[in-house]
Structure formats: C-alpha cells, structure tokens
Chains A and B, each alone.
Chain A
Amino acid sequence: MIVRSIRVALTLAVIILSLVGCVVVPASQVQTSREISAPLDLGEGRKIAVLFSSDFSPQTSRSLGEKMVDCIRTAVRDGVPGVTVVSQEHFFAAAFPGLTPQQVLIRADTIPALVARLELRQRIDQAAIDYLVMVGGQIEGQSYGGLLAPAPVVVGGWDKHAKMSATLFDLRHGGVVGSGAAEASGSAFFVAPFLIPLGGGVDPDAPTCKALGAEVVRLLGGARDRDQR
C-alpha cells in the first residue's frame, strides 16, 4: 500500500514538474515602452531596414541581435501590410554597393553624416528605404548548480533579465524619430535525481523579443493610421 502511494506521488510529481517546464512569461509581465520624437511618414509600398550592428550596440551578442531582427521582421510583416522589411544584405547592396557591413560604421553619430552625402542619399531614395531600425539588447543573469551529496541528486537553475530595444532613424535626414523597448525577468529551477532532469521555469527571451516586434509595429502603425486618415 505504502509503495503504491509513493509510486502515485512520484508519477504526479513528474507530471506536474513536466508541465511547469512549459511555462512562458505571460505577455502582461513583459514591460514595454515606446517614444516618438518626430512624426513618421511611411507610405504604402515603402521599405524599412532592420539591422543589428555591433558598432551601434557593442554589448549585444550577435545571436541576440539576429533574434531581435527576426522578431521585428516577422511582426512588421504580419502587422504592417504594405511595408516591406529589407534584409541587411539588401540594405548594404542598395546603399553601399561593393562594401561589406564591416566596412561601414553605422552608429547614431555617423548615420546623419552618411545620409548627408548626395550619392548615398540618391541610392537610398532609389531603393525607397525610408527608415532604419537598429536593435540592441542584453540578457543578464546568473546560473547556479550543484550536487546534493551524498544523495545522487543534481540541482540547478538560472535567473535572467532580458532587455531589448529598437531605435528608429529617418534615413531622409539621419535623425532618431522614435524608439521602442521591452524587458522581462524569468528564472528556472531543476532537480535531477539519478540524473533524470525534472523542473521548469520561465524564459523571458522569446516573449520580450516578440513584444519588441509589437512595439516597432505600433511605432510604424502610427504612421500608417495617419496616412489612412
């Protein structure tokens, strides 16, 4: 009888802990903000470029930067029909033909100087790219773990804080016209008796990234709403 009860309890524990592993940060727990410092003017059929550059955001890892670019691209494609998001390759080929991204310094202080040059101005106009979205962010946190000796049980986990942002530049003059940000925290914990991992937690990366995409859509959506009025 006792053995059966223990078996049932263990089975329930495994099911509950497995379910806990599926938890993600609810959208409401991701804090977002956005700011528009100048009116946007984005017409039907126009284009925006979304880039990650370690020059613009040195603290951002390449993998996180590329993730944010994907999130914004997906969000704009789904949320702002009629506006095309051009890839980094397309942007550099159109604006800086013959140069690699490493040969171009794209930072807040260099963008106005770059777009002020007549030949570059003409190439950007020809490509119909009106805005440039630059991403930046960091995942901060710490992990821990250890063995609960003498029992053969390994415990561990991590705490994370994801912070992501997007800055919108108007390529007609190079100035910042808006920005959006999203951040969230999460943690995970696991126990591995006899090296069988059980546990779960909340990973803030994906929901924060998705929320950042939504913020960029809202920034651009403001322009579309005005155009349609």
Chain B
Amino acid sequence: MRWLFALVVLAAGCGTVLTPVVIREPRPEPLPLTIGVHYPDEVRSFRKVPVTDARGDSANAKILVGEASVKLIDDALGLLFARVVSVTTVTPVGSAGDGLSAVIEPRILAAALEVGRQGVDDTFARGSITYGFTLYSKTGERLASWTVSGAGLASSSTSLRDAADWNTVRRSLELALRDAAWNFTSGFRDVAEVRRWLDERGVK
C-alpha cells in the first residue's frame, strides 16, 4: 500500500498528461457525412482514476483522461467521417447545425488501473476505459446508444517502487484509450442502431 500511495503521489500535482494515438492502419472506410460532436463538461474534466494493486489496495490517481479523450475521439471521428464539427449542444440551432447529419455525444463511463508483478523480473500495469456514445438527430432525437471499452497492458523490468515506472502505468492507460478508439472506429458500422441510421441515409 505504501508504494502504491507513493505512485499516486508521484502522479499528483497538475495531473498526469496522456498522449494516446489513434490507429490509422487499417483505416476505416470514411463515411460521406458531416458529424457534430458535443463533449459534456464532465468528459473534459475527467481526471480521477482508481489504481489497485495485487493485494486489492486502492488509491485514486490524478490523470488527465478527459482532455486526452477529447483529442482521441476527435481524431477517431476524423477518420470515420468526411467532416467533424464541434458543437456546444446536442441540438445545435441556426448555422451551427447546417449540414450536420447527426450529433454524437461521448461520455467516460469508467477508467481504472491495476498494477502488479509478473514472472521474476517484470512488473505490469493494466489500464481500462469504457466510453458511452449517444447519437442524436439534429432535433435531439436519440438515434443510437452504445458502449465501447478498451484495455491496455504495459510491463517493465524495473520495480514499480521506482519513480520511472509511473511511465509504465501511464502507458497502459494510453494503450487502453488507443484500443477503445480502435474498437470505436472499427465497430461503428456494426452497431445495429447506427447501421439502421446509415441505411436510412443510403450510406454503406
């Protein structure tokens, strides 16, 4: 517990910055549509992640998951759609809504970290994240709602007692976000309600 606390203290201050990347290959077939994206404030400010060790002890770490998620989802939507427009509400009015096919609203449902040992020399960190997505028509009608999860495993040959190993913990969460973004882009067309919406618009 003592070293877990030390890890969490290391991650305190302004919070750990995450820089996850979006998988660009294999790339999804882009949809010829313009999508609006609305991020609720609680998504942008999400930064409390529980870290659990092998004995079940837990502490909260301050990690800027929300900011990283906004950039990540923007990039993922940029791969999926011909154009992405940031909107301040799910029912944009006037020129803000012009040309939009729909508005998508992401939420962070859960984020967690688990740390422990594997083998003789290695330590590991396992990150996980779950997003919820809701697709709205321009008039605010809910078209589809689904969840997407991601998991990331990172290991290191040094002890988690070392300060340098916060990098392993951070990397596991970055990999989880990357995995979630991949699951989002690769599985978007497979969500039944989304498929129906695309069919109605004549998009394959």
Q: Which residues of A contact B (CB under 8 A)?
A: 54, 58-59, 61-63, 96, 99-100, 102-105, 110, 113-114, 117, 120, 138-143, 158, 160
Contacts and interface: CB of A to CB of B under 8 A. Distances in A.
Contacts of B26: 105, 110, 113-114, 117
B122 A104 contact: no
B120 A142 contact: yes
B162 interface: no
A141 B119 contact: yes
Interface in B111-167: 118-122, 153-157
B25 interface: yes
B39 interface: no
Contacts of B85: none
B120 A54 contact: no
B120 A114 contact: no
Interface of B: 21-26, 118-122, 153-157, 175, 178, 182
20 contacts: A54-B175, A59-B153, A62-B156, A63-B156, A96-B25, A100-B21, A102-B21, A102-B23, A103-B21, A103-B22, A103-B23, A104-B25, A105-B23, A105-B26, A105-B182, A110-B26, A113-B26, A117-B26, A158-B120, A160-B120
Given A104-B24, A117-B26, A139-B121, 16 more contacts: A54-B153, A58-B153, A61-B122, A61-B155, A62-B156, A100-B21, A103-B23, A105-B23, A105-B25, A114-B25, A138-B118, A140-B118, A140-B119, A141-B120, A142-B120, A158-B120
A143 B155 CA distance: 18
A124 to B, nearest CB: 13
Contacts of B154: 54
